[in-house]
Amino acid sequence: MINVVKKNHSLGINIMDEGLGISKQELPNLFKEFGFWLRISTLKRLANDLEIKIEVVSEVGIGGEFIVIFK
């Protein structure tokens, strides 16, 4: 599911899924440059360059939520 959201004084996109989810132990490693997460770390680096914030909330067995906030 994809929604447009307003957070504080910024506009964002909220992307949610009902997939496998990411464990709380793995979340801190999500944007590190190794293995499967390489593409996600590249996205995060590009977002930082463009002053876009990415927030992630996820739980194993429930799915995940990525919030992309544009300044």
Instruction: Give the per-residue pLDDT at 29.
Output: 83
CA 41 to chain CA mean position, Å = 10
Q: What pLDDT does residue 65 have? A: 93
Domain span at residue 43? 2-70
Q: How many structural domains are present in the chain? A: 1
Half-sphere exposure of 39 (CA within 13 A, CB side): 1
CATH code, 22:
3.30.565.10
- Specify the pTM: 0.75
Phi, psi torsion values for 13, nearest 5 degrees: -120, 130
Q: How many CB atoms lie within 10 A of CB 4?
A: 8
Chain segment 3-61, per-residue pLDDT in tens = 998 878 899 999 999 989 999 998 888 888 776 667 788 888 889 999 999 999 999 99
